[in-house]
Amino acid sequence: MWRYQYITRAMVEIVLGEENAALLTLASLIPFCERCGRVMDRIYIRILTAVCYQRQNNARWQEEWMQALDAVHEYRFVMPIAQFGAAVMPMLTFTGYKKDESFFSLLLQETRRQAVLYPNFLRPMPRLSEPLSPAEMQVLRLLCGNRSNQEIADILGVKVATVKTHVIHILQKLGVKRRGEAKEV
């Protein structure tokens, strides 16, 4: 069971934008998976490794990705890749799979279905230009609760102009343009 902790840890590291740490975490599992014949675990490791390399703009992602595709094709598995949805769509639509068009079509269809259900799966957290202040964090929490500027001002006991200033700073630090986008980050 510890191997699932490592895979989960690697996914968290990917979300945090720590691809090198995720690669190290995954690398520690490879000898075990190969020694024990853990096919599914090895597929997951290849998928996550490909995601890391692709996000680093390292061409090695294509080799890992094609090996993952070959492995799922061999067993006619769709879900090991499809469950990663939005996280693997760029790689899936970029490469295609020439060995079996019908299998690839099914894989693409299922991956799209997952991407629609979980559009932010393994999406990296934004890197803030600077951290949010405690007051900005309070405003952001209320903003995420669909509160208006007036409601936020009433709850925090400040002026609406102060809330508007905090919202402007929050949007700048998160690198977004609208309140709705800030809620999604």
Predicted TM-score (pTM) above 0.85? no
* CATH number, domain containing residue 145: 1.10.10.10
Instruction: Please tell me whether residues 87 and 9 are part of one structural domain.
Output: yes
For residue range 128-167, what is the model confidence (pLDDT) as tens digits?
778 899 999 999 999 999 999 999 999 999 999 999 999 9
Tally of structural domains, the chain: 2
For residue 124, is it within any domain?
no
Q: What is the mean pLDDT of residues 20-28?
A: 96
Q: Whose CA is closest to 132, among 95, 167, 180?
A: 167
Instruction: Please tell me whether residues 107 and 151 are part of one structural domain.
Output: no
Token pair recorded at residue 180: 């709705």
Instruction: Please tell me whether residues 19 and 86 are part of one structural domain.
Output: yes
pLDDT at 96: 67
- Rounded distance between C-alpha atoms, residue 20 and residue 38, angstroms: 23
For residue range 60-86, what is the model confidence (pLDDT) as tens digits?
999 999 999 999 999 999 999 999 999
The full DSSP string for 26-54 is HHTTHHHHHHHT-HHHHHHHHHHHHHHHH
**Residues 49 and 15: beta-carbon distance below 8 Å:** no
- What is the domain extent for residue 172? 134-184
Instruction: Please tell me whether residues 158 and 104 are part of one structural domain.
Output: no
Instruction: Please tell me whether residues 18 and 103 are part of one structural domain.
Output: yes
* CATH number, domain containing residue 99: 1.25.40
For residue 12, is it within any domain?
yes
Instruction: Please tell me whether residues 23 and 80 are part of one structural domain.
Output: yes
**Residues 6 and 28: beta-carbon distance below 8 Å:** yes
- Rounded distance between C-alpha atoms, residue 5 and residue 105, angstroms: 32
Instruction: Please tell me whether residues 91 and 172 are part of one structural domain.
Output: no
Token pair recorded at residue 24: 């190290």
Instruction: Please tell me whether residues 179 and 90 are part of one structural domain.
Output: no
